[in-house]
């Protein structure tokens, strides 16, 4: 059994209530404008001066960019912990709670809320998670409930 196998974390190794802490990522004004220009060209994302006068009170990122940054934090965590993922079928709920401003740093806590084994061992198991993305003041900026598809331990693979 090689070192690589030993370190893999399969569906069987994940427990309800477990919390994964991600790394962090910082977003700047240029990132916000670049994303908004391509995907969400609304004045409060494109123009810092307009944004100051908006209900958001500052130059803030598209809510979908915050989701994309959450995905980066999640993907890096799956890779760091050697968890083989096959993506996600969807999101049960997503709330944008606070704007994310230029200069903010984001990190996330990923809490396992439920686990469902696949009927067929070659299919991935389901891992229900609640993801809380926070800024550098530890204020939640988005919260979402989603499901991850995580591979089952192959027959014969060691713990």
Span from 10-18, 32-40, 108-116, 129-137 in contact with a second copy (CB under 8 A): 32-40
Distance of CA 137 to the CA centre of its chain: 18
Close Cβ partners of 121 (under 8 Å, ≥ 6 residues apart): 152, 155
Q: Which of 51, 65, 110, 127 contacts a second copy by CB under 8 A?
A: 65
d(CA 46, CA 44) in angstroms, rounded, equals 6
Q: What is the rounded CA–CA span in Å between residue 32 and residue 37?
A: 9
**Is residue 93 part of the contact set for a second copy (CB under 8 A)?**
yes
Place of tokens 């989701």: 67
Residue 24 contacts a second copy per CB under 8 A: no
Out of 30, 55, 120, 155, the residue judged to bind a second copy by CB under 8 A: 55
Residues that bind a second copy (CB under 8 A): 35, 38-42, 55, 62-65, 67-69, 71-72, 75-76, 79, 85-96
């Amino acid at each position: 059994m090689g070192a690589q196998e030993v370190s893999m974390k399969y569906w069987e190794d994940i427990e309800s209530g477990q919390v994964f802490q991600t790394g962090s990522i910082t977003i700047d004004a240029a990132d916000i404008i670049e994303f908004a220009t391509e995907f969400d060209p609304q004045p409060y994302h494109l123009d810092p001066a307009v944004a100051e006068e908006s209900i958001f009170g500052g130059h803030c990122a598209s809510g979908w960019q915050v989701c994309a940054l959450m995905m980066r934090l999640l993907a890096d965590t799956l890779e760091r912990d050697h968890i083989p993922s096959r993506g996600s079928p969807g999101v049960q709920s997503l709330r944008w709670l606070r704007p994310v401003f230029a200069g903010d740093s984001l990190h996330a806590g990923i809490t396992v809320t439920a686990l469902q084994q696949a009927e067929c061992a070659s299919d991935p198991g389901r891992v229900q998670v609640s993801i809380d993305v926070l800024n550098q003041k530890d204020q939640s900026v988005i919260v979402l409930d989603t499901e991850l598809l995580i591979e089952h331990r192959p027959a014969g693979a060691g713990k």
